Amino acid sequence: MKTFLVALLMLTFSIAGFSQTQYAPLDTSPLDIAYFPENYPLLRIQQKVTTTPVARVIYSRPQKNNRPIFGSLIEFGKVWRLGANEASEIEFFQNVKINNVKVKKGRYTLYAIPNQTTWTMIVNKENDIWGSFAYDVKKDVVRMDVPVAKQPTITEALVMLFEKAPNNGFNLSVVWDDVKISLPVSLQP
């Protein structure tokens, strides 16, 4: 009986060793977050801010990898999730204004329709979406056409950042390949 129990115990440990959890591989388009004001979580820990952040964007960072991007990988005139994997999301911690439209405090999805000289930036009330396959124009909160600025250097991985603007607001800037666009956002009094 002892021999049987020892053999059963060894078999149990052997099976447990073979059934270890398999984890997903490292994503080639890592997730990133940007805040306005910049580095808000760090500033908060350092006790250098006393208010909530104004905005936060969560997005995945696709890589160029020597590929032609705009007009090829990202087709002109088609809705794009503005990043990779899940659609990019922006959260406003207070009411703001975009293109003279009041946008209430809350979480939204960002889309873009890139073209050669302008992009249509879209703030949409749908959340937790993968890609732009389920994009619904009826859920748009605001759209705004913004000019494309060609950059002298190539940016390998897509970057989103907030830049302070002189008009009581900020720009959400998107930079990738040789392109930069900026979506102006105004603070509400």
Integer Cα distance of 72 and 25 in angstroms:
27
DSSP assignment of 23-92 equals PPPPPSS-EEEEEESTTHHHHHHTT---S--SEEEEEE--B-TT--TBTTTB-TTS-B-SSSSBPPEEEE
**Is 144 within the bounds of a domain?**
yes
Mean pLDDT over 18-30 rounds to: 73
**Is 176 within the bounds of a domain?**
yes
Name the 3-class secondary structure at 137.
Answer: helix
- Give 171's pLDDT tier (boundaries 50, 70, 90): very high
Q: Are 145 and 56 in contact (CB under 8 A)?
A: no
- Give 128's pLDDT tier (boundaries 50, 70, 90): confident
Q: Are 82 and 119 in contact (CB under 8 A)?
A: no
Integer Cα distance of 120 and 79 in angstroms:
9
**Is 5 within the bounds of a domain?**
no
**Is 42 within the bounds of a domain?**
yes
Domain range for residue 117? 27-187
**Is 7 within the bounds of a domain?**
no
**Is 174 within the bounds of a domain?**
yes
Which residue did the predictor score with more confidence, 17 or 151?
Answer: 151
**Is 33 within the bounds of a domain?**
yes
The whole-model pTM stands at: 0.83
Which H helix or E strand runs over 96?
Answer: strand 96-98
How many domains does the chain contain in total? 1
**Is 1 within the bounds of a domain?**
no
- DSSP state for residue 21 in the 8-state scheme: P
